[in-house]
Chain A
């Protein structure tokens, strides 16, 4: 049996491509107006809760400032991102990847158990008996798939004025358009944070085996 299902592997790489493009074009959009607000409105420093630094050209798509080109990339890649996420959720509920591998058990939430898995991580011991993923992995993958990525879709829809006549309830739920915009930014960086930790752990756990596993599917007795 393969370690990673074909649906998981396809989605993983499609999602990587989408998230990287969306993040880097999003940094250009952030550069267009570097102030974040709460509520419905805000247009100057005195209303802002955060002034975001300007992101340098090497971090952004396109490589020199163009809001129009950045928006084209952002809107283009939002489609495979959102539809891909929907596909992944349907696939992992149907093949029971979610229930089998990502759902945590009550026992895993015991403080001693959590402490144990943290200590093992700090010792860089990634062997875990039983299930495919340890508690911290389940928690991280569950949060990314269940909260971080979907929140990007919902806050993204809420920033778009043409969507508001239909999704006005969603904008209200998020606390107004500028709150949705702030949350869009915060969750983008939450995903970036996951990306950094994920990459670091892949390298610590043996990058060749890990990456091969996510391409070919690998086998259970591999890393």
Chain B
């Protein structure tokens, strides 16, 4: 990670493709149809009662409905998704930049990481992911509500998922319920900074 940060500009962009490069189908991995908790009910309701919270080390905690999120200024980007296992798919993602929500809530100076809380429970553990502030404020880090111009399919993380374009797929948390600013990863999940990091020992920095 040190080498990547040294070699690359902090804001350097992942490649973006023309709309014509979009893959005919966007594969889903991990949870593709969560059945735990309230999630199936939210699917039935068309996510009308879904809330996205911004909380933790912020001056003003926020709570958004999907409608609120869709009204925010959005960024659209056709990017390639690379799974840690080796496959890639290209899709067009649309949604507000994470920086917009973080600035709106106001990060406290001691905040160093952003935690993404997810609705899906995979193999008995709640999915979550974390990034540092460099990736949180990266211009391509968006909260996607649409894939290829349509609301996100359940398979790809409906109603909201993260896009962390310079890292591997497991960082791109799906079924997003909350964005939490924290000072340390200790005590968050298993303390390794993410579901797969805790469960299988995957690297927290997923840029390699």
Could you list which residues of chain A lie within 8 angstroms of chain B, going by C-beta atoms?
Answer: 29-30, 32-33, 35, 37, 40-44, 66-69, 71-72, 75, 160-166, 168, 171, 177-178, 181
Cα–Cα distance between A140 and B80 once the two chains are bound (Å): 37
Query: What is the interface residue range for chain B against chain A?
Result: 35 or more
Given A40-B90, A68-B200: A162 and B8 interface contact (C-beta under 8 Å): yes
The interface centre, meaning the residue of A29, A37, A164, A166 with most chain B CB atoms within 10 A of its CB, is: A164
B166 touches which of A33, A37, A165 (Cβ 8 Å): A165
Per CB-CB distance, the 3 closest pairs between chain A and chain B, nearest first, are A162-B207, A165-B12, A33-B86
11 contacts between A and B (CB under 8 A): A35-B87, A66-B201, A67-B200, A71-B202, A161-B82, A161-B206, A161-B207, A165-B13, A165-B15, A177-B80, A181-B86
Number of A-B contacts defined by CB within 8 Å: 99
Interface positions, chain B 149-180, Cβ under 8 Å from A, are: 165-168
Partner-A contacts on B (CB < 8 A):
1, 4, 7-9, 12-15, 17, 21, 23, 27, 80, 82-90, 165-168, 196, 200-203, 205-208
Please report whether the interface of chain B is mostly helix, strand, loop or mixed according to DSSP: loop
Docked-complex contact A40 and B201, CB < 8 angstroms: no
Which residues in B have their C-beta under 8 angstroms from that of A44? 27, 87
Prevailing SS type, chain A contact patch: helix
- Please tell me if the beta carbons of A171 and B84 are within 8 angstroms of each other in the complex: no
Q: Measured between C-beta atoms, what is the minimum distance from B71 to chain A in Å?
A: 30
Asked if B14 and A43 sit within 8 Å, CB to CB, the answer is no
- The answer to whether B7 and A164 touch across the interface, beta carbons within 8 angstroms, is no
Say yes or no: A43-B8 contact (C-beta < 8 A), given A32-B84, A165-B166. Answer: no
Enumerate chain B residues within 8 angstroms of A41, measured Cβ to Cβ: 23, 80, 87-90
Cα separation A66 to B201 with both chains bound (whole Å):
9
- Complex Cα–Cα for A71 and B168 (A): 13
- Cβ 8 A contact of A178, one of B27, B85, B88, B168: B88
Partner of A165, one of B1, B14, B80: B14
- What distance in Å separates the Cβ of A195 from its nearest Cβ neighbour in chain B? 24
B96 to chain A, nearest CB (A): 22
Q: For the complex, what is the distance from the CA of A29 to the CA of B86, rounded to whole Å? A: 8
Contact A33 B88 (CB under 8 A): no
Query: What is the bound-complex CA distance between A9 and B14, given in angstroms?
Result: 41
Whether the pair B27, A177 counts as a contact (CB closer than 8 A) is no
